[in-house]
Copies of this chain bind each other. A is one copy, B any other.
Amino acid sequence: MKPTVWLIGAGPGDPELLTLKAVKALGQADVVLVDDLVNPQVLDYCPQARLVYVGKRGGCRSTPQAFIQRLMLRYARQGLRVARLKGGDPCIFGRGGEEALWLGSHGVACEIVNGITAGLAAATSCGIPLTHRGMAQGVTLITAHSQDGTTPDWAGLARSRTTLVVYMGVAKLQDMSSQLLAAGMAADTPVAMIERASLSDQRECRSTLAAMACDAAAFGLRSPAVLVIGDVAACQMYGAADAPMPHLSEPELRRSA
């Protein structure tokens, strides 16, 4: 099977965060199926293509998944080069796997083009180092809006000592807060809530695990937003005068080198 469909990660919003591979594929596409979390400026890279908008936002009335998949299949069978453009990365809560497998089972191969996932870009753009040494053992990307009705194991996550990055969590702030507090996570655990990551109108609200639902309401936090929960969420790595992040002294740096 020769690839005839690209599943392309459009990144978090800033068109400059597209990969070269994504730009190349977009430039060759005959038809582009555009997700509603994609920045319209990204479409400047496929002026030759026919655009089909197939938004599918959680909880809203939108194009059914099965219809989108059949549309890709139909175009591919017509011999067109099809690009499916998704926000972030196709395989981080993007259903890339489902679509790739479904297409494969219908005789159409596809190629997945990675994108910068929103959680990573959100943290970086507001100065949070997700895996900062001494503060986190790693980072866990989860979604609060589970597609199969199951919920994350909050107790396991609370003790994992990883920074938690939550996608699609705006509607479940109070629930997450309660669950993580019940699992033993400290009430003053820092939280950062980042709206429209990497875009010029990005907004961020810093809070704590106990206060995040109230603070988000006061702030007027709206989807799409990303939450960062963990000690690193109090950091500001871009040299702010009042940076709360303890930095390593020269002797410590020498020891660690």
List chain A positions with a Cβ less than 8 A from chain B: 1, 11, 14-21, 23-24, 64-67, 69, 89-93, 95-98, 100-105, 107-110, 112, 114-117, 120-121, 123-124, 127, 129-134, 137-143, 146-148, 150-153, 155-162, 232, 235, 237-240, 243, 245, 247-248, 250, 253-254, 256-257
Alpha-carbon distance between A139 and B248 when the two chains are bound, in angstroms? 29
Contacts of A66 in B (CB 8 A): 250, 253-254, 257
Alpha-carbon distance between A152 and B69 when the two chains are bound, in angstroms? 39
Most buried by B among A89, A124, A162: A124
Q: How far is the CB of A156 from chain B (nearest CB, A)?
A: 4
Q: How far is the CB of A204 from chain B (nearest CB, A)?
A: 15
Alpha-carbon distance between A216 and B65 when the two chains are bound, in angstroms? 39
Query: Are A132 and B97 interface neighbours, CB within 8 A?
Result: yes
Given A120-B117, A137-B146, A137-B150: A239 touches B162 (CB 8 Å cut-off): no
Query: Are A152 and B161 interface neighbours, CB within 8 A?
Result: yes
Query: Are B243 and A104 interface neighbours, CB within 8 A?
Result: yes
Alpha-carbon distance between A245 and B110 when the two chains are bound, in angstroms? 16
Contacts of A131 in B (CB 8 A): 91-93, 141, 143
Query: Are B239 and A104 interface neighbours, CB within 8 A?
Result: yes
Contacts of A139 in B (CB 8 A): 92, 140-141
Q: Jot down 10 A-B pairs with beta carbons below 8 A, ordered by A.
A: A14-B21, A16-B20, A65-B257, A67-B257, A92-B131, A93-B131, A97-B133, A100-B238, A141-B141, A157-B160
Please name 13 further chain A to chain B contacts, defined as beta carbons within 8 Å, in addition to the given A17-B19, A137-B142, A138-B141, sorted by A numbering.
A65-B256, A66-B253, A89-B124, A92-B130, A93-B131, A96-B129, A96-B237, A100-B239, A101-B247, A108-B239, A112-B237, A137-B150, A139-B140
Q: Which of B95, B103, B150, B239 contacts A103 (CB 8 A)?
A: B239
Alpha-carbon distance between A110 and B236 when the two chains are bound, in angstroms? 12
Alpha-carbon distance between A15 and B256 when the two chains are bound, in angstroms? 30
